[in-house]
Structure 1
């Protein structure tokens, strides 16, 4: 029958080996203690809140409702008269001019903005 190993001496062996390497029992470690971990911030930024985005979407829908209805009525009228291409061309030009004006204004603001 194999003899069981005696594991009770293992901690003592480790202690002696560490003392042989210069470690003392009253020593906690070498050097300054590590810095404490940074505090955990569970607070989300304001733009991550879904309710704010929902309110913004509802606000935009409310104030653009008249414009949406007017565009839809114009589309129906131009389509009935077989002039859908005229309406699409007019609308496309208005969108293009708006985008160009936005880009020019943004560039001017970025160039001349003084904090």
Structure 2
């Protein structure tokens, strides 16, 4: 059996941006809501500026920042590994990368059968 794969990972570009944001804002966290305003872009907030609720699932950490997803979104994405990337564009209105001409972007891949067994076993 293989080790449990991480549910969320980050590209090198994402890790570099996280380091920059942490220097500017202190501890940060991510939330993936799939809400209407910013689509499915992961949002980045200073710790304490976003209230994590009982309906949020902790997926793991990227670059030392906790990453949460709404339970409804988790049910939809639970068979995939989320890969957080940075692409050109405008960040979410309330997300910390806004104004830097880049935004966080979710890529994904399906877990293999063996990885799924490791996660659910």
Q: State if a TM-score over 0.5 links the two structures.
A: no
Which is helix-richer, 1 or 2? 1
Name which one, 1 or 2, has greater alpha-carbon Rg: 1
Which is strand-richer, 1 or 2? 2
**Which gives a bigger RCO, structure 1 or 2 (Cα 8 Å, sep 6+)?**
2
Normalised TM-score (structure 2): 0.24
